[in-house]
Amino acid sequence: MANLNLLNIPDDLYEKLQELAQAEHSSIDAQVITILQNALAKKTQLTEEERRKNVPKLLEESRNRRRLNPADFGLPDSTELIREDRDR
Question: H or E stretch including 20?
Answer: helix 11-23
Q: Model-level pTM?
A: 0.49
Domains identified in the chain, total number? 1
CB 58 within 8 A of CB 48: no
The span from the CA of 10 to the CA of 88, in Å, is: 77
Domain limits for position 65: 11-87
The tens digit of pLDDT for each residue in 46-84 reads 777 777 788 888 888 887 766 667 677 777 878 888 998
Task: Specify if 1 maps to a domain.
Answer: no
Task: Specify if 2 maps to a domain.
Answer: no
Whole-angstrom distance between the N-terminal and C-terminal Cα of the chain? 58
Task: Specify if 28 maps to a domain.
Answer: yes
pLDDT of residue 68: 67
pLDDT top residue among 44 and 87: 87
The tens digit of pLDDT for each residue in 6-55 reads 889 999 999 999 999 999 889 999 999 999 998 888 777 777 777 778 88
Task: Specify if 3 maps to a domain.
Answer: no
